[in-house]
Structure 1
């Protein structure tokens, strides 16, 4: 299909499907796989980056937190930009930027260079990701749309599962000194192929045209980004900035967040589109589900960060061995995700409660295993508890998204989904900063095993907080159902 034919695709009959939709979906899935893979694949490269570039602990955290934060902040504006200017165009721009940023990451000669390149990668990932779900909605109808989203969900699970293992294989093949560069260079051939196919296969967006900058809420993006950055800085820089004065940035973050909320309300009153629709948080299931997933992502994404550092720097595992040790968590999550998707309508929020409890028990078991089997055998002892935690994780993420969005009005579904993803990425950045601060603070004093224990305790605390939110939602839901039943009985009772 030529670009001219693709441009004419929206002029077909409304019910006539795009004949190239499945090929176009393949392009979207490969691009989505690449951007999501860079969340997990980089973890096993951190020790190699640390030795290769003499990277301080704070920069190692920014390599992960910076990517997650930039990715999250640009999700919602990028979705609006794609709807207005054309999803194919924004997808291609994001893909070009992601490929170039990957090349820059691989060529980095200093940790600062690498951090800046990772920020650019995060922005690019934020540009690409929302176009994928929007293009699926545009190209597919009915049951085909469900199949397409199901395939996308599978790709999300696979990218998480294979990331540590693929990163370990690349570093094993290229050597520990320079192998980390190939973790980024692997994106180049994939990105180039995707670009060529995207220009040919992806459809244009009906009604695309100019967009006002105000619609993207740049002030909201800056305020939210500044608030999260002020919160992260004292934790990420805890080893580099002596004294307690740095923690004054925490109340500064709270003030910036309050200003952000006021700005968003002002935007809504003036008829402009805010970055985050605050009216969504009047829906109990939505605001509790959003808070739950923010806390959960703060807990579970930081596990990979401290685990790879402990295994490689503390136990002297190779990158491949570390990747294999962490893989059970990702595999368990992928297996349970499909089961959770089928059971969520039957069990509701209690299913998420069970999943969170499994994650907390699995992480506690991991910490226990490290003490019971010290030395290089700890990796074997970690496999079973990490598998349990992974199985629990699969019962959390997808079911929570279904439940959180279940009561959101359809016209606000797109904004609600984007806000939920933004919360996930911000949670990841906060969790890595908090767990990293504790982990690196303990390494010098008490060694790698104790530092790993303390890091896991912080992760468990985040998961425990998410569990408390889930239990509160279950209790509130049962009380509401009890009130509804009582009201129904009162209405049905005969009048005297």
Structure 2
């Protein structure tokens, strides 16, 4: 029964994470179909990430306190409905609002999947389900461009973009019915009569919005005053921390700050934050390089990124099974492989530019994908290993919020480098892609430093025992 419940959760996670990347190859199709401007397009891409990140922690806490099954099904039905609304959009504003609501539903749904694993499997048994979840994350993120390209190829460039949303509807309805029937209520989920910390929810939400908004609107808000939202967001975050400490003296807070005293959780969350800053934007810039820079179709662009998806999915599954044997060094190895794959991509596009990009990028992207699979799954398993089961949802929500903030920051920062280099070189797409990949490698290097710090701390602890 628990494996069937896991399967339903993985399908739901795949849907929500697929919609992070599948939209990238649909950009020309959306512009042709709805005449969406640059600002609207940025909201279609990044607004999803904004509301996704906003709901993760409160939704994780809600699942912890009130039961996973009801929250999971509600989030999944919301995601299905808003996917249909996005596919039926008749204007730019309609599509943007639908994407914001779709991201919010995804934010409600996702923490329940990790919470489900924590509750249904004992610590020694979690390597396999986390391996499957990691494979799902890697495949959903990387296969999105390929699936989007196929749908647009079949349905046509003018209306094909609608099917990247419509495809969620039948899958979501079936998964919601199965989830209600299969996911257990008792004894795995015991409702607790405790406060959901509404003040903490509001403060954290305001902090996330203030930090993410200037990143989401970086190319639309030209005034430097937008960056004032970042320090005000950090101040709001400080107010949230102070409130949580005070609230936690009376009852269970939204986020148990004591979790950050656990080295593996603290450093693992930092790895997530910085890794997704260096990882997520690359699907966006590779798609622009292939489609707009070299005139490849959406399908060809998706096929070019397929080796990354294959490498990521296989390595994530294997990494989930061997993480308990190798620990955090496995994450460090994965980070090194991703950096090597991106560096190799820079070399091949410059040394053999006359060879078609889908051919010369196959091996570098396969290596980078394999490395990514060894990062996401093992890091999640190690980071949550010491988290109490009844705090699994909120702890996972914090991790996924770090993912969304990192992803939004990376898209803004690496995208800015890409477009600045493109403008400075007179539309030299190879130079722009190389500069963006170097920026991504810089973020990955910071993640490697955090992973090495955890390795060093673990070794010092063992030597003292």
Contact map agreement 1:88 1:205 (CA 8 A) in 2:
no
Please give the secondary structure, in 2, of the residue aligned with 1:184.
helix
1:289-333 Cα distance to aligned partner (Å, 9 max, x none): 111111001111111111112211111111110111111112111
Contact map agreement 2:112 2:393 (CA 8 A) in 1:
no
Q: Could you tell me how far 1:236 is from its partner in structure 2? A: 3.5
Q: 403-412 or 238-247, which moves further after superposition?
A: 403-412
Of 420, 425, 436 in structure 1, the residue corresponding to residue 415 of structure 2 is: 436
Please give the residue correspondences for 1:273-422 in structure 2 after superposition, counting only pairs within 5 Å: 273-374=252-353, 377-408=356-387, 412-422=391-401
Contact map agreement 2:341 2:364 (CA 8 A) in 1:
yes
Please give the residue correspondences for 1:213-228 in structure 2 after superposition, counting only pairs within 5 Å: 215-228=195-208
Contact map agreement 2:135 2:312 (CA 8 A) in 1:
no
Q: Could you tell me how far 1:453 is from its partner in structure 2? A: 2.5
Please give the residue correspondences for 1:3-152 in structure 2 after superposition, counting only pairs within 5 Å: 24-135=5-116, 151-152=132-133
TM-score of the superposed pair, with normalisation by structure 1: 0.83
Please give the secondary structure, in 2, of the residue aligned with 1:216.
coil
Distance 1:305 1:191 in 2: 26
Of 212, 226, 229 in structure 2, the residue corresponding to residue 232 of structure 1 is: 212
Q: 1:202 to 1:335 in 2, by over 3 A?
A: closer
- Higher RCO (CA 8 Å, separation ≥ 6 residues): 2
Q: Could you tell me how far 1:348 is from its partner in structure 2? A: 2.4
Of 137, 156, 175 in structure 2, the residue corresponding to residue 194 of structure 1 is: 175
Please give the secondary structure, in 1, of the residue aligned with 2:248.
helix
Distance 1:134 1:435 in 2: 32
Contact map agreement 1:61 1:432 (CA 8 A) in 2:
no
Distance 1:293 1:142 in 2: 21
Contact map agreement 2:319 2:377 (CA 8 A) in 1:
yes
Partner of 1:264: 244
1:195-226 Cα distance to aligned partner (Å, 9 max, x none): 344444444456776967xx333333333333
Distance 1:410 1:88 in 2: 16
Q: Could you tell me how far 1:241 is from its partner in structure 2? A: 2.6
Q: 1:278 to 1:196 in 2, by over 3 A?
A: closer
Partner of 1:251: 231
Q: 73-82 or 322-331, which moves further after superposition?
A: 73-82
Q: Could you tell me how far 1:411 is from its partner in structure 2? A: 5.5
1:392-434 Cα distance to aligned partner (Å, 9 max, x none): 1111111212222334455545543332222222222222222
Q: Could you tell me how far 1:138 is from its partner in structure 2? A: 5.9
Distance 1:226 1:181 in 2: 32
TM-score of the superposed pair, with normalisation by structure 2: 0.88
Q: 1:299 to 1:48 in 2, by over 3 A?
A: same
Distance 1:404 1:142 in 2: 12
Q: Larger Rg: 1 or 2?
A: 1
Partner of 1:4: none
Q: Could you tell me how far 1:91 is from its partner in structure 2? A: 2.5
1:164-210 Cα distance to aligned partner (Å, 9 max, x none): 22111101101122111110011112122233444444444567769
Q: Could you tell me how far 1:24 is from its partner in structure 2? A: 4.7
Q: 1:332 to 1:224 in 2, by over 3 A?
A: same
User: For structure 1, which runs of at least 5 residues remain unmatched after alignment?
Assistant: 1-19, 486-496
Q: 1:289 to 1:437 in 2, by over 3 A?
A: same
Q: 1:443 to 1:417 in 2, by over 3 A?
A: same
User: For structure 2, which runs of at least 5 residues remain unmatched after alignment?
Assistant: none
Q: 316-325 or 84-93, which moves further after superposition?
A: 84-93
Distance 2:452 2:127 in 1: 30
CA RMSD of aligned residues (A): 2.9
1:231-251 Cα distance to aligned partner (Å, 9 max, x none): 333343333333433322232
